Chain A
Amino acid sequence: MKRLTLSVLAMSLLAGWAHAETVTVYSSRNEQLIKPLFDAYTKETGVEVKVLTDKEGPLLARLQAEGSNTPADMLITVDAGNLWQASNMGLLKTFNSKVVNENIPAHLRDPRGQWTGLSVRARTMVYNPSLIKAEQLSTYEDLADPKFKGKLCLRTSKKVYNQSLVGMMIAQHGEAKTEQVVRGWVANLATDVFADDTKLIEAVAAGQCAVGIVNTYYLGRILDKLPADKREAYPAKLFWANQKTNGVHVNISGAGITRFAKNEAGALKLIEWLSSDKAQNLYADKDLEFPANPKIKADVIVSSWGPFKQNLINMAKAGELQGKAVQLMDRAGYK
């Protein structure tokens, strides 16, 4: 108790130029998306958050090489696959938080309790209404039908979002059926696969293809740059896929506590805070994603697409089946 009083005293004395407590974060979510959150957290709690950004691959290699001497308390990624892999490599630690369990739906959390989603990245269709009617669209699987020949645009299979999508299809339909679907997609392509979602949406808008599969926030970013009254007329429209079947494929951006965290309690508090009402909007809206906490309303552009049914298979499957999905797409000639 005495120590606590002392440290509180010290903290108030030193406030302004030094922080008594620090949480160190390795993050592949980029700096301008998370820094504002951490600044808000520091302002509210006095806890300093140090961030180091890099791609997921190097961050995991780094955690592994540092072992028990890692300065990192927490890992943030922008997909479930890499959190699953971090957990698989023994780089994360199990945590059990009532707050997180209440805030975040179960399918967005690791069944083993080593990581949790903090925002939802939905992957669905965009279409050009002058080339195709919404009534003609239904599911991802249906896009393999020959009626879409020469009408489909896809992003490269090297992007993790497509690997998760195909991984989830494997979970649902098995490998044989999924491979058929992917082969059908490839046969229906209007042009070479794209390197990024933004270019793909622009291609749909320009009429190079009628329909494509993208993450919604890329469309959100394009609409966000337009004046509010021009958004309705933008020639690429969003369509919620698989609403009559298993729901839209979602991925997450999420976080876990590192196995050798020096400030485990601090990292947990930060994760709980990030899952809370206060932080969820800031976390998701910065990038026009969906809050993982279903009680929170999304940004106005994002809400304008209306409610949708999510696929409820646990996100851990995306990581588990990623390798299979990649190999399947290689076999099917999906570049």
Chain B
Amino acid sequence: MSKHSWRGAVLALPIALLTLIPLLVVLASFLHPQPEIWAHLGQYVLPDVLRNTAILLFGVGFGVLLLGVPLAWLTAVCEFPGRRWLSWALMLPLAMPAYVLAFVQVGLLDFTGPVQTLLRELTGDSSWFPRIRSTGGVVLVLTLAFYPYVYLLARNAFLTQGKRALEAAQMLGYSRPAGFWKVALPMARPWLIGGLTLALMETLADFGTVSVFNFDTFTTAIYKSWFSLFNLTAASQLASLLVLFVLVLVLVEQRARGARAYHGRIVAAERIVLTGWARPAATLFCLAVLAMAFVIPLLQLLVWAYSVLATDLDARYWGFTLRSMLISLAAALVVSVLALVLVLLQRHYASRATRLTVQLATLGYAVPGTVLAVGVFVPIAWLDNLLLPYAHALGYEGFQILKGSVAVMLLALGARFMAVAFQPLESAMQRVSRNQEDAARSLGLSNRQLTWRLHLPMLRGGALTAVLMCFVDVMKEMPITLMTRPFGWETLAVRVFEMTSEGMWANAALPSLMIVLTGLLPVILLVRKAE
């Protein structure tokens, strides 16, 4: 392998460049130091936001595991009333944009919301009611919004080995709970880390949700420097630090994971049938999460959407929806194929250089969207400026060649969402053991045949998850769509932006609702297939 140590990196580089070029544009900001802004931020802004960001990362990280892992275990390994439909229904919150969830929950639970208003009408006082616009509130909402990443990936892990691992542990004399903690959970580690990584990267990049709570994070400081202090350079410097932080985390995790093996035989095992109080408790737990993360916000969206239906819904919505679906599907497929190539390269050329290149390719997910959008746009505009004189000489009259083309839009979305497709595929690859590869080779399979006949079939579940998560994420994405879309290319997410930018939340409910409903289609279809 060692003689190929650079080949994998070189082959992965073109894909990594999609992300690396925008990141380098952001990083180039360090060529222009901004001491004044930094002095101000250092004294009055950073101490608070760093503390808040740390709290948020721990809170959300803990929260998504606390919800995602038990839900995945219950629906993948156990049997209880409602298990069959809950197992896919619990993925639905993935389609609910986090900022929408935030706005709905704040609207319902704040002082002026219906819950506290009712309390005041009944008892005359609602001051004891916990404040939703608080650290706890923002952690709760982000947890509800991002737990599906952990749930989806952990479920894949448990479906492929959970029950077997538990049985093996029991044969070794462990009790059932001990078997879960000592064997099943550690065996699922790459999946858990994968889901956790996505949830934390999205938490770091989030601006929409925290601004509904007015909770200042590192991302808030980035946008404050840019939008309020008119200093894009300082904002880019802050964003670079964020990326470096994530890179270090990812590499440390890789190192800790080391050479442990996570593969096992995939056998359809009998489910553990829950008995006694555990049966209703499992159903109730699933229902409670589903209600808070999806059903209640969905109902609120329905009420709002209904109130503006007569004035806002028109024939253009067909176009918005169609374009949203097209771009999401195309981007999901492109990103998933690229991520698949990365995963295969990482397997074939297992060197540190390859791994680093591949990890770099996934960093776009941790960058606040608007900053990444500028990083994407600057090199494209530069290329356009280079090409336009020639195009004009040939009689072309426009001023956009690459800019505003759907192809560039797809690549830009690729830079953002590579991590989302990569994590499930990489975890799935852990199930393919070196022994299986050796056995296949000893049967005379070439490397190419190995890919087609062993890797790809075993990656099917992971690939479905990748496509599904990317589809839904692209559907919700705003900044890159806004920055790279062609003139007149309006999607549902663009529509949400138009409404929320002026604080018209009831009007934003209609396109948000359409995003959620359109997002449901692939969730239901793909999940049924995967079962």
Measured CB to CB, the residues of A under 8 A from B are: 24, 28, 30-33, 50-58, 61-62, 65-71, 78, 81, 85, 88, 156, 158, 160, 163, 191-199, 202-203, 205-206, 208, 218, 221, 262, 287, 322-323, 326-327, 330-331, 335
Contact = CB atoms under 8 A, between A and B. Distances in A.
Interface stretch (B149-157, B219-227, B338-346, B424-432): B219-227
Nearest to A65: B381
Contact of B40 (A28, A31, A58, A330): A330
Given A53-B482, A54-B483, A81-B230, 9 more contacts: A30-B499, A33-B502, A53-B494, A53-B498, A58-B377, A65-B374, A67-B385, A192-B214, A203-B111
Contacts of A54: 482-483
B218 to A, nearest CB: 14
Given A53-B482, A71-B399, A327-B44, A195 B211 contact: yes
B227 A57 contact: yes
B405 interface: no
Interface in B22-51: 40, 44-45
Contact of B227 (A31, A56, A203): A56
Contact of A58 (B111, B400, B479, B488): B479
B112 A203 contact: yes
Contact of B45 (A66, A78, A160, A330): A330
B213 interface: yes
B216 A335 contact: yes
15 contacts: A30-B501, A52-B487, A54-B482, A55-B482, A57-B223, A61-B378, A62-B381, A62-B483, A65-B374, A70-B399, A88-B230, A195-B214, A196-B503, A206-B111, A335-B214
B229 interface: yes
A199 B110 contact: yes
Given A71-B399, A208-B112, A323-B230, A30 B502 contact: yes
Contacts of A66: 381, 384-385, 399, 403
Contact of A322 (B45, B230, B505): B230
Contacts of B400: 71
B444 interface: no
B503 A197 contact: yes
Residue of A52, A70, A85 contacting most chain B CB atoms (<10 Å): A52
Contacts of A326: 224, 228-229
A23 to B, nearest CB: 12
A195 B232 contact: no
B347 interface: no
Contacts of A70: 399
Contacts of A197: 503
B133 interface: yes
Nearest to B224: A158
B112 A199 contact: yes
Contacts, number: 132
Given A28-B501, A53-B482, A196-B503, A61 B224 contact: no
Contacts of B216: 335
Nearest to B392: A69
Contacts of B384: 66, 69
Given A53-B498, A85-B230, A330-B45, A194 B381 contact: no
B228 A322 contact: yes
Contact of A198 (B220, B388, B479, B503): B503
Contacts of B483: 54, 58, 62
B214 A58 contact: no
Contacts of A322: 228-230
Residue of A71, A193, A197 contacting most chain B CB atoms (<10 Å): A71
Contacts of B501: 28, 30, 55
B451 interface: no
A221 B131 CA distance: 27
Contacts of B228: 158, 160, 163, 322-323, 326
Contacts of A205: 112
Contacts of B505: 198
A157 to B, nearest CB: 8
A206 B117 contact: yes
A30 B498 contact: yes
A331 B503 contact: no
B382 interface: yes
B373 interface: yes
A31 B232 CA distance: 25
A127 B457 CA distance: 66
Residue of A68, A199, A218 contacting most chain B CB atoms (<10 Å): A199
8 closest A-B pairs by beta carbon, nearest first, are A65-B381, A330-B44, A71-B399, A202-B112, A30-B498, A54-B482, A206-B112, A326-B228
B498 A31 contact: yes
A50 B487 contact: yes
B112 A32 contact: no
A218 B19 CA distance: 40
Interface string B460-493: 0000000000000000000100110001101000
A32 B498 contact: yes
Contacts of A61: 232, 374, 377-378
A191 B111 contact: yes
Residue of A88, A195, A203, A221 contacting most chain B CB atoms (<10 Å): A195
A58 B502 contact: no
Contact of A65 (B377, B398, B494): B377
B518 interface: no
B226 to A, nearest CB: 5
B283 interface: no
Contacts of A81: 230
B524 interface: no
A330 B224 CA distance: 11
B377 to A, nearest CB: 6
Interface in B206-257: 211-214, 216, 220, 223-224, 226-230, 232
Contacts of B482: 53-55, 58
Interface string B132-176: 010000000000000000000000000000000000000000000
Contacts of B106: 195, 199
